[in-house]
Chain A
């Protein structure tokens, strides 16, 4: 079975600072990886996904993630944080039947 570990349940950055949210995966097959964002009391919105086409994946709202097979990582970054980025972020891997296995989530706080 595949699994996802998100390091850091809470990350706090200043507005304009770099955002780095960490995700490591465990998979015996080439992984399909996703980052979703959840704003308070809302559903999940896809930020980006990796499906082996390119190791650097660009998503919505200025986010990107780099797939590193040697490190089994898929960290999410954004060069400059905005107040509107405050939310919870979930990394996920797709398994058989396309079921998503999620990490525990990272709450991003952006300070003004």
Chain B
């Protein structure tokens, strides 16, 4: 069983569209994260949820909206997609939000905006 899974793995869409990426973890963790890896492979956190509550919200355009329906799921919805949104998006989870707790990463979703 995959610990952290993401769907879809690849997403190709046109500018201006709205799309969602789903993430699920079966580890029983309380905390989930979204990271963005840009074309230069630089990784940066976007959001984090702990027990379904938003605890980290970096300077991300408000076109990005995370939603956590339960502790096992953290979805990312993106409105009005732009070329610059093209990236690989990684979901991760950890047992809790204490500093230093190991994070488990999903396989990533490669988003291409045309």
Interface residue ranges, A against B (CB under 8 Å)? 32, 34, 36, 38, 42-46, 49, 51, 88, 90, 92, 94-102, 104-105
B55–A44 touching, CB < 8 Å: no
- 14 A-B pairs in the complex with CB atoms less than 8 angstroms apart: A32-B100, A42-B107, A42-B108, A43-B4, A44-B92, A49-B100, A94-B100, A94-B101, A97-B50, A97-B55, A98-B94, A100-B35, A101-B45, A105-B42
Q: Which residue of A lies closest to B99 (CB)?
A: A94
Q: How far is the CB of B25 from chain A (nearest CB, A)?
A: 13
B residues with CB within 8 A of A: 4, 31, 33, 35, 40-45, 48, 50, 55-56, 58, 90, 92, 94, 96-108
Indicate the member of A38, A96, A99, A102 with the most B CB atoms within 10 Å. A99
Q: Which residue of B lies closest to A29 (CB)?
A: B99
Q: Choose among B4, B43, B56, B92 the residue that contacts A97 (Cβ–Cβ < 8 A).
A: B56
Q: Give the dominant DSSP class at A's interface.
A: strand
A32 B99 Cβ-Cβ under 8 A: yes
Residues of A within 8 A of B103 (CB): 46, 98, 100
Query: Which chain B positions have C-beta within 8 A of A90?
Result: 43
Given A42-B107, A43-B107, decide whether A100 and B45 contact each other with a Cβ distance below 8 A: yes
